[in-house]
Structure 1
Amino acid sequence: MYYLEEKRITMAEKIQKREEEILNIIKEYWAKHKYSPTIREIVKKSNINSTSTVMRYLYRLKEKRLIDWHPKMPRTLHIKEKTPC
């Protein structure tokens, strides 16, 4: 008798997938509207149900220097351009 093994992903892989999902949402929204999405708009488009969870992922992306925003200003979220080495 053979058992099918489920693909198990680690928590780090899950976090990385969510971060990529959020980055893609920001890129697509920016391309369509020419300004950044709000936190609530990111929640609506993602599989995440909490604004605080989205903020936690955004802070992780900011720590990795992939995105940035101006505090206390709406719709200032932007993706940083990667510079060639």
Structure 2
Amino acid sequence: MGKCKDLSEFDKRQIVMARQLGQSISKTAALVGCSRSAVVSIYQKWYKERTVVNRQQGHGRPRLIDARGERRLAHVVRSNR
């Protein structure tokens, strides 16, 4: 059985994709040829990294108030009447 350190990047991606598609831990381990604990640790590591990346500042809806507490109106189009 392969350990986490012995698995290639391809095998690690296979584990992540299989788990994302709803495959059980045992079937994923049999597919890749590694231990169940390796599947769990690889998937947990990937999940933690993914959630940290998604929480980076600068993603999502732009703020209406800048760091100085002033309202930003640059995105509002003003018409000249």
Normalising by structure 2, we get a TM-score of 0.41
- Please tell me whether Structure 1 or Structure 2 has the larger radius of gyration of its CA atoms: 2
TM-score (norm 1): 0.39
Q: Identify, as 1 or 2, the structure richer in strand.
A: 1
